[in-house]
C-alpha cells in the first residue's frame, strides 16, 4: 500500500511539468503580442520574457526533484 501511495505522489508531482509547459507558452504568447503592439519596446520586453522563462523553468526543475524525493526518501 505504501509503494502505491509513493507512485501516486510521484506521478502527481510530475504534473507540474505540464503546468510549466503551459506557462512557457503563455510567456511566449504575451511576448509576441507585446512586440506586435509596440515594436519600440522589443528589447525591454525580451528581458522580461527571459525572466518569465527562467521562473517557469525553475518550477519545472523542482517537479522531478520532488518526484525523486517522494519515491526514494519517504
Domain ranges of the chain: 1-73
| The CATH number of the domain covering residues in 1-73 | 1.20.20.10
Residue 29, classed as helix, strand or coil, is helix
Give tens-digit pLDDT for 25-69: 998 999 999 999 999 988 999 999 999 889 888 888 888 888 888
25 neighbors 53 (Cβ within 8 angstroms): no
Give tens-digit pLDDT for 19-32: 888 888 998 999 99
Amino acid at each position: 500500500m505504501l509503494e502505491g501511495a509513493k507512485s501516486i505522489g510521484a506521478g502527481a508531482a510530475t504534473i507540474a511539468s505540464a503546468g510549466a509547459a503551459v506557462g512557457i507558452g503563455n510567456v511566449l504568447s504575451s511576448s509576441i503580442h507585446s512586440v506586435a503592439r509596440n515594436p519600440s519596446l522589443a528589447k525591454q520586453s525580451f528581458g522580461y520574457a527571459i525572466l518569465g522563462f527562467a521562473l517557469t523553468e525553475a518550477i519545472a526543475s523542482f517537479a522531478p526533484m520532488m518526484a525523486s524525493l517522494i519515491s526514494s526518501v519517504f
